[in-house]
């Protein structure tokens, strides 16, 4: 028994031990243990009183350090953070916000603002003075460096996003702008985007910093933003598909164009991006329906072209003419209305625009189905609105994936 070492360190690390032949894995484990212990110095420096002598060590201890990973945690404030020791949180520039790992760790929140550089996964980028709004002019930029060489995507979640909207003639973001540079091309956006998100391609390799910039123009406006930055390794299952600025998962959900707001939002010009929905297992089609508009007397939840201050029919196709979508459109591959196919028209269409959501020329909104895979939409707008296109909101659609039965292939 004397040759079997039982060590139990009463700090914030538990060590479970058992006997092992000398010369196997104990010595290899020592550096790893020391590293682990150093990570917990923020709690209490563990006292390792001795290592076994050569004489004692014919049988050495194989100890398994039961510790907690630096995983995601929910802070007391509701923000998400990373679970770690207090000293590590402080040295990495975070602030502790509640406990995690059954009280052994602290939930470390990383929040940063103008002029900073971050490598921390889960960092929040907030406006100067947050949570107080910022009403001034200038440029606020942060640089995101990869937290790990394996990172190849960055997801931005707009937990708060309220900056000045576009000008009201052509809906161009020429006052305030949110700009992403350093990754794949991303359209500049402005206005109200709380709850929306973006995926940024960070490329392969250890560098490729991505910059996020909020430009505040001269218009007085109480700007507020809080952007959560999540770094995504290439080999994860939650990585977005290539070419998807937005990526949704789940059998059902809701997707909106940027600055969609039924009350005051305006469809943004100069947009051109893909929206992807992950095909869930055993689902073969996807159905889209315009969101319920609870604000306006007449639904404006799909208003892409025409003067939406009056009822506007749906428009389809890529031809030139009053009922085509030559300038602004939502592209849904081979879209067809559920339950009604008008014989005089093509069985399916691609581009949809106008002021009513339907794959047929109609004043009546419809549910639209496509079985083209993968499930993907493209949104395109040019840089002109007035005088033909006025007060369009953009789109808000609910989607429901359709199972591989019921004649859906
Ligand atoms: Ca336009």
**Per-residue pLDDT, 153:** 95
**Per-residue pLDDT, 71:** 87
DSSP bridge partners of 72:
82
**Per-residue pLDDT, 130:** 96
Ion ligand 1: residues, CB within 5 A, are 327-328, 381-382, 385
Q: How far is the CA of 325 from the centre of ligand 1 (A)?
A: 10
Q: In angstroms, what CA-CA distances link 128 with 69, 132, 134, 218, 279?
A: 32, 8, 6, 16, 40
Instruction: Say if residues 213 and 179 touch (Cβ distance below 8 Å).
Output: yes
- Measuring CA to CA, which residue among 69, 80, 10, 3 is closest to residue 44? 10
Cβ neighbourhood burial of 127 (10 Å; 0-12, 13-18, 19+): buried
Distance, in Å, from the CA atom of 353 to the CA atom of 381, rounded to the nearest integer, reads 10
Q: How far is the CA of 274 from the centre of ligand 1 (A)?
A: 17
Q: Does CATH place domain 246-403 in 2.60.120.290?
A: yes
Q: How far is the CA of 87 from the centre of ligand 1 (A)?
A: 53
Q: How far is the CA of 391 from the centre of ligand 1 (A)?
A: 11
**Per-residue pLDDT, 68:** 73
Q: How far is the CA of 53 from the centre of ligand 1 (A)?
A: 79
Task: List the chain residues with pLDDT less than 50.
Answer: 1-60, 66
- DSSP codes, 96-159: EEEEEGGGTEEEEE-EE-TT-EE--TTEEEE-TTTTS-B---EEEEEEE--SSTTEEEEEEEEE
Q: How far is the CA of 178 from the centre of ligand 1 (A)?
A: 20
Q: How far is the CA of 371 from the centre of ligand 1 (A)?
A: 28
Q: How far is the CA of 271 from the centre of ligand 1 (A)?
A: 9
Q: How far is the CA of 173 from the centre of ligand 1 (A)?
A: 13
Distance, in Å, from the CA atom of 399 to the CA atom of 409, rounded to the nearest integer, reads 17
Instruction: Say if residues 161 and 236 touch (Cβ distance below 8 Å).
Output: no
Q: How far is the CA of 169 from the centre of ligand 1 (A)?
A: 10
C-alpha Rg value of the chain to the nearest Å: 27
Length of the chain in terms of residues written: 409
Name the strand (E) or helix (H) holding 292: none
**Per-residue pLDDT, 2:** 34
Instruction: Specify the CATH architecture of the domain 110-233.
Output: Sandwich (2.60)
**Per-residue pLDDT, 230:** 96
Strands 246-248 vs 272-277: parallel, antiparallel or unpaired: parallel
Instruction: Say if residues 266 and 165 touch (Cβ distance below 8 Å).
Output: yes
Residue with tokens 């006025």: 390
Contacts 24+ apart (CB under 8 A), 94-97: 94/120
Indicate the average pLDDT of the chain. 84
Q: How far is the CA of 320 from the centre of ligand 1 (A)?
A: 14
**Per-residue pLDDT, 134:** 96
**Per-residue pLDDT, 345:** 55
Q: How far is the CA of 388 from the centre of ligand 1 (A)?
A: 9
Q: How far is the CA of 269 from the centre of ligand 1 (A)?
A: 6
Q: How far is the CA of 270 from the centre of ligand 1 (A)?
A: 8
Q: How far is the CA of 326 from the centre of ligand 1 (A)?
A: 9
Query: Token pair of 102, please?
Result: 């059954």
Contacts 24+ apart (CB under 8 A), 4-9: 4/59, 4/61, 5/52, 5/56, 5/59, 5/60, 5/61, 6/61, 7/61, 7/63, 9/46, 9/47, 9/48
Q: How far is the CA of 174 from the centre of ligand 1 (A)?
A: 15
Q: Is the peptide bond before 272 cis (omega within 30 degrees of 0)?
A: no
Q: How far is the CA of 385 from the centre of ligand 1 (A)?
A: 4
Contacts 24+ apart (CB under 8 A), 9-12: 9/46, 9/47, 9/48, 11/37, 11/40, 11/43, 11/44, 11/45, 11/46, 11/47, 12/40, 12/43, 12/44, 12/85, 12/104
Q: How far is the CA of 328 from the centre of ligand 1 (A)?
A: 5
Cβ neighbourhood burial of 198 (10 Å; 0-12, 13-18, 19+): buried
Q: How far is the CA of 384 from the centre of ligand 1 (A)?
A: 4
What is the pTM for the complete model shown? 0.82
Distance, in Å, from the CA atom of 152 to the CA atom of 201, rounded to the nearest integer, reads 6
Each residue of 284-299: pLDDT tens digit? Answer: 999 999 999 999 999 9
Q: How far is the CA of 256 from the centre of ligand 1 (A)?
A: 17
Q: How far is the CA of 383 from the centre of ligand 1 (A)?
A: 6
Q: How far is the CA of 279 from the centre of ligand 1 (A)?
A: 31
Sequence ranges of the chain with CATH classification 2.60.120.290: 110-233, 246-403
- Measuring CA to CA, which residue among 313, 157, 338 is closest to residue 232? 157
Each residue of 87-115: pLDDT tens digit? Answer: 999 999 999 999 998 888 999 999 999 99
Q: How far is the CA of 187 from the centre of ligand 1 (A)?
A: 14
Q: How far is the CA of 389 from the centre of ligand 1 (A)?
A: 7
Q: How far is the CA of 268 from the centre of ligand 1 (A)?
A: 8
């Amino acid at each position: 028994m004397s040759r079997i070492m039982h060590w139990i360190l009463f700090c914030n690390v538990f060590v479970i031990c058992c006997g092992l032949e000398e010369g196997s894995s104990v010595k290899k484990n020592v550096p790893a243990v020391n590293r682990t212990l150093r990570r917990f110095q923020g709690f209490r420096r563990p006292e390792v009183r001795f290592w076994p002598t050569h004489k004692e060590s014919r049988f050495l201890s194989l100890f398994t350090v039961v510790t907690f990973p630096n995983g995601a945690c929910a802070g007391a404030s509701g923000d998400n953070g990373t679970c770690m020791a207090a000293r590590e949180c402080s040295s990495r520039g975070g602030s502790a916000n509640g406990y995690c790992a059954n009280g052994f760790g602290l939930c470390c929140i990383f929040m940063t603002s103008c002029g900073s550089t971050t490598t921390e996964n889960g960092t929040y980028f907030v406006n100067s003075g947050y949570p107080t709004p910022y009403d001034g002019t200038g440029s606020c930029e942060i640089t995101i460096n990869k937290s790990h060489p394996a990172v190849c995507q960055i997801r931005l979640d707009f937990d708060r996003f309220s900056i000045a909207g576009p000008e009201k003639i052509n809906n161009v973001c020429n006052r305030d702008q949110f700009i992403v540079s350093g990754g794949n091309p991303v359209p500049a956006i402005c206005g109200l985007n709380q709850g929306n998100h973006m995926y940024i391609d960070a490329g392969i390799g250890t560098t490729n910093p991505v910059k996020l910039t909020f430009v505040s123009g001269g218009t007085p406006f109480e700007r507020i933003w809080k952007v959560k930055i999540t770094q995504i390794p290439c080999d994860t299952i939650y990585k977005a598909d290539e070419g998807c600025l937005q990526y949704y998962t789940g059998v059902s959900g809701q997707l909106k164009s940027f600055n969609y707001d039924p009350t005051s939002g305006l469809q943004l010009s100069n947009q051109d991006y893909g929206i992807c929905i992950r095909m869930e297992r055993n689902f073969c089609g996807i159905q889209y329906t315009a969101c319920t508009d609870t604000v306006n007397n007449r639904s404006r939840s799909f208003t892409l072209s025409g003067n939406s201050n009056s009822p506007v029919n749906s428009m389809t196709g890529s031809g030139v003419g009053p009922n085509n979508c030559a300038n602004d459109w939502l592209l849904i591959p081979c879209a067809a209305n559920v339950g009604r196919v008008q014989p005089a028209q093509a069985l399916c269409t691609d581009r949809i625009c106008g002021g009513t959501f339907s794959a047929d020329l109609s004043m009546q909104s419809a549910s639209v189905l496509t079985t083209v895979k993968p499930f993907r939409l493209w949104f395109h707008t040019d840089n002109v609105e007035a005088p033909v296109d006025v007060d369009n909101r953009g789109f808000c659609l609910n989607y429901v994936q359709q199972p591989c039965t019921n004649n859906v292939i």
